[in-house]
Amino acid sequence: MSRIDKLIIPGGLIRRARTYSLVNEQGNLFVVNTGRAATNMQHASGRYAFAKAAQVMWEDHFAKEIADGEVSIGKIPLTDLVKGKNNVMIPLGDIVEVSCKLKPSGPTMMVVTKNKKYKFVSYDNSRLPELEGFAKGLK
């Protein structure tokens, strides 16, 4: 079993950003939602200063939610966790491509399956080797 925590699927116009843990076990990739995520505001300045201050408050709130979600991964069987909202189990045979790149927003791992693309981001540039190591286990 290999696992990587605190990866974010960025939000869009309708969907909120969410934090995920990925677990490679039993020939499957389990994508488990551990909580909401704050938007990356590291490049914010000027008129966005208030938003950046608010982000710090939300990050503290979300950190507890994420910690609780990560603890549940060890307590609840993964096959039961994926039945929850925003969770998915992907058979490794369905994965067509996995790639990791360092982008301006941070290290990004793309997982392309037969039906869908998943984009996972970490805002910590030092995590790129960790993402690459996990990605090798999916190939």
Residue 94 confidence class, pLDDT cut points 50, 70, 90: very high
pTM: 0.83
Residue 119 contacts residue 110 (beta carbons within 8 Å) = yes
Contacts for 20 with CB less than 8 Å, ≥ 6 apart? 7, 8, 9, 31, 32, 33, 34, 120
pLDDT at 39: 59
pLDDT at 95: 96
Residue 11 confidence class, pLDDT cut points 50, 70, 90: confident
pLDDT at 49: 63
Residue 105 confidence class, pLDDT cut points 50, 70, 90: confident
Q: Which domains does the chain have, with CATH numbers?
A: 2-138 (2.30.29.30)
Interval 26-82: pLDDT, tens: 899 999 999 888 655 454 455 566 666 666 666 676 777 788 888 888 889 999 989
CB neighbour burial string for 26-63, b if at least 16 within 10 angstroms, e if fewer? eebbbbbbbbbbbebbeeeeeeeeeeeeebeeeeeebe
Residue (of 95, 125, 109, 117) closest to 29 by Cα position: 95
